[in-house]
């Protein structure tokens, strides 16, 4: 969610138990504008936090002119001092996917692959690599996976130019209340997958400038999103049941929207049995 509107936005998602202490809110109010200035970002989003056993990772994302370009991610343990995270790789995501249990809250903590997957550990050792993975790498992979799976935006909030770059839609004035209650009105803000498999007939009624992302209506498993009206029907809130702790809000007929994650960084693998 937008760093500039963070206090108001946190109040809108507080119904799910998400929140920050007054001290952390004050620290973010000071440090996030400095991040935007020092790294010359066009915009800074507060992504949320992953709670570990001994500490909590607070995450921020920096965006450039092309909103579809890879985002620069940073983490902090105190909401004041920030460290850059390297981009996620396929190998990193695959290795982190084998790890289970809570984060420790220590970036230098090392997971021993010999205890988790002896076969993978042996292949790493043969390739001249240590059969361990640092928690910082797991953090990078988890943020990437959550963003791909449940990082969402309203339909029409972004436009794609003929040259392929993506920018904020200055003419976006928010969804109507009726549209805001439909999953088809929200898109995954990542590289589309289902859209590429649609036939020409299915694409005929789509606007290529705004319908260039995958909508939530075809997410698997069905029922992985909870849509609710809060604040007397003034706010539409979507919560992910796959990544518990991810909350998205949108105030219909306004430009106000965003999502934040407050959780343990663990995927809800029991979801298919709960539906």
Per-domain residue ranges of the chain: 153-266
**Using an 8 Å Cβ cutoff, are 167 and 67 in contact?**
yes
State the pLDDT at residue 212. 87
CA-closest candidate to residue 186, choices 228, 238, 255: 238
* pLDDT at 179 (0 to 100): 94
Residue 30 has what pLDDT? 92
10-residue block means of pLDDT along the chain (275 residues)?
Answer: 79 74 91 93 93 95 88 94 93 85 92 68 61 88 94 93 89 93 92 74 75 88 90 90 94 93 92 77
Phi, psi at 150, each rounded to 5°: -135, 10
SS3 9: helix
Place of tokens 């049995």: 273
Q: Identify whether the C-beta of residue 28 lies closer than 8 Å to the C-beta of residue 45.
A: no
Task: Compute and round to an integer the Cα radius of gyration of the chain.
Answer: 19
How confident is the model at residue 117, as a pLDDT?
63
How confident is the model at residue 70, as a pLDDT? 86
- Overall size of the chain counted in residues: 275
pTM of the complete model: 0.89
């Amino acid at each position: 969610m937008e760093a500039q509107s963070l206090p108001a936005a946190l109040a809108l998602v507080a119904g799910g138990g998400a929140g920050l202490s007054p001290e952390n809110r004050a620290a973010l109010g000071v440090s996030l504008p400095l991040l935007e200035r020092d790294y010359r970002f066009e915009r800074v989003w507060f992504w949320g936090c992953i709670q570990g056993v001994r500490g909590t990772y607070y995450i921020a994302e920096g965006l450039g002119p092309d909103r579809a370009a890879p985002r620069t991610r940073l983490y902090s343990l105190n909401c004041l001092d920030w460290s850059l995270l390297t981009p996620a790789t396929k190998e990193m995501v695959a290795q982190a996917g084998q790890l289970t249990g809570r984060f420790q809250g220590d970036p230098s903590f090392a997971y021993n692959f010999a205890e988790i997957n002896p076969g993978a550990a042996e292949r790493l050792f043969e390739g001249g690599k240590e059969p361990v993975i640092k928690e910082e790498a797991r953090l990078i992979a988890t943020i990437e996976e959550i963003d791909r799976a449940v990082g969402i935006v309203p339909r029409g909030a972004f436009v794609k130019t003929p040259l392929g770059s993506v920018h904020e839609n200055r003419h976006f004035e928010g969804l109507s209340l009726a549209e805001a209650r439909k999953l088809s009105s929200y898109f995954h803000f990542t590289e589309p997958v289902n859209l590429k498999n649609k036939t020409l007939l299915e694409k005929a009624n789509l606007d290529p400038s705004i319908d260039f992302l995958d909508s939530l209506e075809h997410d698997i498993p069905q029922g992985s999103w909870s849509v609710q009206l809060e604040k007397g029907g003034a706010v539409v809130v979507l919560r992910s049941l796959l990544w518990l702790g991810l909350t998205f809000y949108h105030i219909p007929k306004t430009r106000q929207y965003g999502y934040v994650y407050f959780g343990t960084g663990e995927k809800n693998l029991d979801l298919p049995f709960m539906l």
